[in-house]
Chain A
Amino acid sequence: MIFETVAITEFLKLHRARVHWFTLGALMMGPLGLALFMWIAMEPDRAATLGLLGTKAELTGIEATWASYSGFLVQIVGTGGMLLLAFIVAYVFGREYDEGTAKNLLALPVARHWFVLAKFIVAGAWWLAIVVAMLAEAVVIGLALGLPGFSATVVVQTVGNALLAAGISYLLVPVVAWITVWGRGFMAPLGFALGMLLLGNVFGSTGWAVWFPWSIVPLLVGSVGPAVSALPAGSYIVVALTFVAGVIGTIAQLRYADCAQ
Chain B
Amino acid sequence: MSTDSVITTRALTKRYRDVLAVDSLELDVRCGEIYGFLGRNGAGKTTTIRMLLGLIRPTSGEVRVLGQAVRDGDQRWLARVGFLVESASAYPNLTVRENLDVQRRLTGAAPGSVERAIDRLGLGAYADRVSGKLSLGNKQRLSLARALLHEPEVLLLDEPANGLDPAGIVEVRALLRELADERGVTVFMSSHILPEVAHLADRIGIIHEGRLIEEAGRDEFTARARAFVADSLTAEEREQALLTADLERYFLARTGTSEPGDAA
Contact = CB atoms under 8 A, between A and B. Distances in A.
Mostly, the A contact residues are loop
A107 B54 contact: yes
A132 interface: no
A108 interface: yes
B94 A103 contact: no
Nearest to B131: A99
Interface residues on B, range: 20 to 34
Contacts of A8: 105
B240 to A, nearest CB: 37
B76 A109 contact: yes
Interface residues of A, number: 26
The winner among B93, B106, B130 for most chain A CB atoms within 10 A is B106
A49 B55 CA distance: 63
6 closest pairs, A vs B, by CB? Answer: A100-B89, A109-B79, A258-B56, A109-B78, A107-B53, A259-B55
B98 interface: yes
A125 interface: no
Nearest to B94: A15
A151 interface: no
Contact of A260 (B50, B75, B87, B93): B50
B102 interface: yes
B23 interface: no
B103 to A, nearest CB: 8
A199 interface: no
26 contacts: A9-B102, A9-B106, A12-B102, A13-B91, A13-B93, A13-B94, A13-B102, A16-B130, A17-B93, A99-B89, A101-B89, A103-B55, A103-B85, A104-B89, A104-B103, A106-B55, A107-B54, A108-B106, A109-B106, A111-B73, A111-B75, A112-B75, A256-B57, A258-B55, A259-B50, A260-B56
A6 interface: yes
